[in-house]
Amino acid sequence: MLAKSSTELVRQQNSALVLSALRRHGRLAHTEISDATGLASATISSITADLERARIIEKSEQQATVGRGRPRVLFSQRRNCGYLITVIISSDSIQYSLVDYAGTLLDRFTEPRGEGGTAAFLAAISAALIRVAERSRIDRGSVLLVSVSSKGLAHPTEPVLVWSPVFGSQPVDFAAALKDGWQAKVILNNETLLVAGALLEREVKTRGGGEPVLAALSLGHSIGLGIARRAPAGVPEISAPNFGHMLHMPNGGLCRCGARGCVEAYAGFYAILRAAFEVPMDTIPAKFVPVAEIDKIATRARQGNRMAQLAFRHAGAALGFGLSRLLSLHGPMPVFITGPGTRYQDLLQAGIEEGLAQTHVVRLGGMPTLTIVADEPSLVFEGHLNLAFSIVDQDIIGSRQNMQAAGE
């Protein structure tokens, strides 16, 4: 392989800038690309011509709204340049979505998760991925990337789930789900990491910069946390620390991970159920608690039942203490709360504030802003697209421009 010269690298970076501006704003005219990227007009002309020749972007015309002016020429991603599949794994189901290169959702279906070990789980995903391609009659080879998300701990570089609530520490390698006929890259991310990334991107889009760093806290059967921080290079830094299994109370309640005293063992749905019914704290936690069960406890709490109120209060306090540790380590940042547990925010709020108020960082700098964002599934999907397309765009620029250079 030939080493890339620095001018080529700059050119690829500028091409990536143009593509990401088109992703963020949709169809753009030449001058709008210039405004969004800060690149010189001549540079943009040359990049858009190249990207068009490589069939990565396409031109369309928009009639002038007033008078008989010349139509505006708009650039956008070429839809059939390639495809992306997202696989969103929840505690009881798996959702598959097919998206074209311009970001249009083409197909979506959800399957129950099924029983069995990791081999059966991967075989079911493998079969479903083939179905995704067949239903839309696309060639498997044209799928550029499969983006998977799950609760639990993802390997930092490989698409391997290192620990999950269902399979424990039995690793799940998603690359094994794509064998014959696939050329797609496979990535795996923690679900709340994607949520944090999506929230940061929304800040940039709607508030022209917005918060430079934020945390996403997901409440449900398990407790997830993501941190997203804007970076000078433009690609945000996002991470998902193991917040749910951070120690809240030494020798405390039994957690699904097998340890004692984790945040989740006080704030997860099963923990709220356990506390409300005064079940011993060393009882093996239920794998899955229907939201309807927690709704019943919430109703009792709102009617004044003391044990039910305390269950939510303790859950809130565990979250508040956890957040205060996060802020002590990472500095102040706003917290966006999401997931099915947000429907109990009225019952959790006092505990969360109580847990936060006692720390030095909050006493010095004040309470962090807590914002409820109820629609978690939209955030997860947005997070998938943001991350996946930034990878796909980089790959596609590299490979097509190399091909072009070789052909010339």
* 178 versus 289: smaller Cβ distance to Zn ion: 289
Q: How far is the CB of 247 from Zn ion (least distance, A)?
A: 9
Among residues 182, 200, 171, the alpha carbon closest in space to that of 383 is found at 200
Q: Structure tokens of 40?
A: 């010189």
In the block, tokens 């093996």 appear at 284
Number of residues in the chain: 408
Taking the least distance from each CB to Zn ion, the nearer of 218 and 309 is 218
Min separation Cβ 223 and Zn ion, Å: 9
Return the number of the residue (247 or 350) whose C-beta is nearest Zn ion.
247
Between residues 82 and 253, which has the closer beta carbon with respect to Zn ion?
Answer: 253
Residue with Cβ nearer Zn ion (21 or 272) = 272
**Spatial contact of 33 and 78, defined as CB atoms under 8 Å apart:** no
The site for Zn ion (CB under 5 A) is made up of 245, 255, 257, 259, 262
Q: Would you say 241 or 368 has its CB closer to Zn ion?
A: 241
Contact by Cβ (8 Å): 224, 218: yes
Kindly state the smallest distance separating residue 310's Cβ from Zn ion, in Å: 21
Q: Which is nearer to Zn ion, 259 or 357 (CB)?
A: 259
Q: Smallest distance from the beta carbon of 374 to Zn ion, in angstroms?
A: 26
| Cβ closest to Zn ion, residue 289 vs residue 362 | 289
> Where on the phi/psi map is residue 234: left (φ > 0), alpha (ψ -120 to 50), or beta?
left
Q: Of the two residues 215 and 262, which places its CB atom closer to Zn ion in the complex?
A: 262
| Alpha-carbon distances, residue 95 vs 80, 86, 113, 129, 136 (angstroms) | 22, 8, 10, 11, 16
Give me the least distance between CB of 268 and Zn ion, in Å please: 9
Q: How far is the CB of 264 from Zn ion (least distance, A)?
A: 5
**Which amino acid, 285?**
P
Least Å from the CB of residue 271 to Zn ion: 10
CB of 262 to Zn ion, least distance (A): 3
As a whole number of angstroms, the distance between CA 256 and CA 265 comes to 7
Least distance from Zn ion to the Cβ atom of residue 257, Å: 3
Nearer to Zn ion, 28 or 265 (CB): 265
Nearer to Zn ion, 109 or 288 (CB): 288
Closest by Cα among 152, 91, 95, 79 to 129: 95
Q: Judging by beta carbons within 10 Å of its beta carbon (0-12, 13-18, 19+), is residue 248 exposed, middle or buried?
A: buried
Q: Which of 123, 240, 150, 144 is nearest to 186 (CA)?
A: 144
Distance CA 22, CA 207 (A): 18
- Least distance to Zn ion, CB of residue 356, Å: 21
As measured in angstroms, the least distance from the Cβ of 222 to Zn ion is 9
